[in-house]
Amino acid sequence: MSGLLSLRPERLRELSLFAVMAVAVFIFSLLIDNYIGGSFFNRVTTSVAITAVLAAGQTLVILTRNIDLSVGSIVGVTAYVTGEYLHNHPDLAPVLAVGYAVAIGAGLGLLNGVLVAYAKVPAIIVTLGTLAIYRTWLINHSDSRTITSDGLPDWVVELPNSTIVSFGDFDIRTVVAGSIALIVVLQLMLGGLKWGRWVYAVGSNPDAARQAALPVRRVILGVFVASGALAGLAGFLFLSRFGTITVNAGNGLELQSVAAAVVGGVNIFGGAGTLVGAFLGAVLINLLDQSLLRVPGLSEFWRDAVLGTLIITAVAVDFLLGKRLGRLSTSARGRRATGVPPPGQGASSDA
C-alpha cells in the first residue's frame, strides 16, 4: 500500500481510471457476448482516436484555466475545407494534406488565442463566439454542397481501415497508433520541457506566473494554437472516417472533449491534470457509450440516461478516491520525511 501511496496524485488518478475501466469491462463482459474480443476492441479504438486528439487539445487549454468551446466548429471547418481541397487536388501528398488541415485549425485557434491572451476576453466568451462564427462561415462557404467520399483520394478513404500490426483479431490501426503516439509525445513535452511547466504554472496561479516573469500571454496563445491545430488534425481524421461531410460536421464535439478531459482528472480550474488522464477519460467515455450500444435488451432510449449516470459516478468515485489516496499519500510522505506523524489530517490540502 505504501508503494501505491508513494506515487504522485496524477498517477493515482490515472490508476483509478484504469480501475474503473477494468470494472466496467468486467461487468459488460457478463452482459454482452463476444465482448472481450478483437472486433469490439477495434470499434472502441477507432472511434476514440478522434475524441482523444480533441481531448488532448482541450486539456492543454484547460490546464491554463481556460476552455475551448470552438473545437467542434473547427473540426467541421477543417474537415470540409480539406475535403474540398483534396477534391480539387487529388494528388496532394498525404503529409501536405494533413498539414493543410492542421494549419487551418492552428489559424482558427490563433484567433482564439489572440483574443484571450492579448485582448483579455475570457475564453468562454471568445470560444462561444467563435463556435458560432466559424460554423456560420462554414454554412455560407459550403453553398449547401456535401463533400462526398468518391471525390476523395483512396488513401484518405482507406485510412481508417489501415492497420499497422495485428495480434490475431486485435488490430492496431494506423490512426489509433498515431493518436497514441501523439499523446505520448505531447505528454513528454508537457512534462519535460520548460514550456510544459509554464502551462501548469499559468493555470495554477496566473498572477504569480506573471510576477515570476513567465511569458504568460505567449503560453496562453500557444495552447489555443495547439488546441486549434489538434482540432484540425481531428478534422482530417473525421474526413477520412466518415467521407461524407456536411455543414453539420463536428457538431457537439466540444462537449465531448471537455467531458473526456474532466473524467480524465483534468482540474477544470486549471493547473492539474495530464494528457494521459484525458486520453483515459476519452477511452472510458467511449467505452461506456459503445458498450451500452451493444447491451442486448437495453432500449435505445435508456442509453443516454445510463451514460449520464455512469459519467457522474465515474467522476465522483475518481474524485473521492483521489482525495482519499491523496490525503493518505501526503501524510505517508510526511511521516517518511520527518519520521514523525504529521499533526493530524485537518491541514491536508484540498484535492
Partner 1 sequence: MRDKALRWRWELFLAVVLVAVFIVNINISEFYLGEQNFINMFQLSIEKVIVVVIMTFVIVNGEIDLSVASVMAFSACVLAALHQGGTVPFELAVVIALLAGTFAGALQGAFVAFMGLPSLVVTLAGLIGFRGAGRILVEDNSIGDFPEWFETLGQEPLIGRFSFALIFFLVLIVVAGIVLHRTAFGRSLFVIGNNANVARYSGVNVSRDKMMIMTASGFFAGLAGILFASRLGSVRGDLALGFELDIITMVLLGGVSIFGGSGTMVGVALAILIVLNIRNGLGLANIDQNTQTGVIGVLLILSVLVPNLVARLAGSLRVARTAERGPPAPGGPKEGGDTARQEADLRPTQG
Partner 2 sequence: MNPDGSLRKRRFEGGWRGIAWILAALMVALMLAAAGCGDDDDDEAPADSGGAADTSSGGAGGVVTPEPGQEFRSVFIPKQTGIAVFEQANNGAQEAARELQVDEPEFLGPSSPENCVSGQIDTVTNAGTQGVNGIMISNCAGDQVEPAARQAADAGATVVSWDSPIPSGEGESVFISQVDFDETGKVMADLALEILGEQGGEYAILSAAPDAANQNAWIKAHEEAIKDPKYSNLKLVDTVYGNDDSEKSYDEALGLVDKHPNLKLIMAPTTVGIAAAAKAMTDEGLCDKVKVSGLGLPDEMKEYTLSGCAPKFALWSFTDLGYLAFFTAYGIATDQVEAEEGAKFEAGRLGEMTIEKDPTRENGLRVLMGPFTVYDESNVEGG
Q: How far is the CB of 30 from partner 2 (least distance, A)?
A: 16
H or E segment to which residue 171 belongs = strand 170-173
The binder of partner 2 chosen from 24, 29, 38, 43 (CB under 8 A): 43
Interface with partner 2, residue 294, by CB under 8 A:
yes
The secondary structure of residue 1, as a DSSP letter, is -
CB of 305 to partner 1, least distance (A): 3
- Rule CB under 8 A: say whether 161 interacts with partner 2: yes
N residues, the chain:
351
- Pick the closer one to partner 2 by CB: 160 or 203: 160
Residue carrying C-alpha cell 459550403: 142
**Smallest distance from partner 1 to CB 307, Å:** 6
What is the nearest approach in angstroms of partner 1 to the Cβ of residue 128?
A: 6
Q: Is 166 in the site for partner 2 (CB under 8 A)?
A: no
DSSP reduced 3-state for 128: helix
Residue 154 binding partner per list partner 2, partner 1, none, with a CB distance cut-off of 5 to 8 Å that depends on partner kind: none
The residue from 12, 130, 135, 322 that contacts partner 2 (CB under 8 A) is 135
| 142 contact, one of partner 2, partner 1, none, CB 5-8 Å limit per kind | partner 2
* Helix H or strand E encompassing 173: strand 170-173
C-alpha cell at 62: 484547460
47 binds partner 2 (CB under 8 A): yes
Partner from partner 1, partner 2, none binding residue 2, C-beta < 5-8 Å depending on class: none
| Interface segment toward partner 2; rule CB under 8 A; list 54-62, 227-235, 245-253, 340-348 | 245-253
Q: How far is the CB of 83 from partner 2 (least distance, A)?
A: 12
**Alpha helix (H) ranges present in the chain?**
2-5, 9-31, 38-63, 71-88, 94-117, 123-142, 154-158, 174-192, 194-204, 206-211, 216-242, 253-263, 275-294, 300-338
Among 149, 174, 331, 348, binds partner 2 (CB under 8 A): 149
Interface ranges with partner 1 (CB under 8 A): 64-66, 115-117, 119-126, 128-133, 135-137, 139-140, 202, 206-207, 210, 216-217, 219-220, 255, 258-259, 262-263, 268-269, 299, 301-309, 311-312, 315-316, 319-320, 350
Q: Does 148 bind partner 2 (CB under 8 A)?
A: yes
- What would the DSSP string read from start to end of 48-93? HHHHHHHHHHHHHHHHTT---TTHHHHHHHHHHHHHHHHHH-TT--
Q: How far is CA 111 from CA 105, 258, 351, in A?
A: 10, 20, 34
The listed partner (partner 1, partner 2, none) that binds 226, CB under 5 to 8 Å by sort, is: none
Q: Which is nearest to 222 in space by CA: 262, 193, 245?
A: 193
290 near partner 2, rule: CB under 8 A: yes
Q: Which partner, partner 2, partner 1, none, binds residue 246 by CB below 5 to 8 Å per kind?
A: partner 2
DSSP 3-state assignment of 209?
Answer: helix
Q: In whole angstroms, what is the distance from residue 300 CA to residue 313 CA?
A: 21
With CA atoms as reference, report the closest residue to 115 among 212, 25, 225, 37.
225
Per CB under 8 A, 241 contacts partner 2? yes
Q: Is 172 in the site for partner 2 (CB under 8 A)?
A: no
Cell 450500444, residue located: 293
- Measured distance CA(102)–CA(99) in Å, rounded: 5
466496467: which residue's cell?
24
Measured from the CB atom, is 53 or 60 closer to partner 2?
53
Residues that bind partner 2 (CB under 8 A): 34, 39-40, 42-43, 46-47, 135-136, 139, 142-146, 148-150, 160-161, 241-249, 251-252, 289-290, 293-294, 296, 300-301
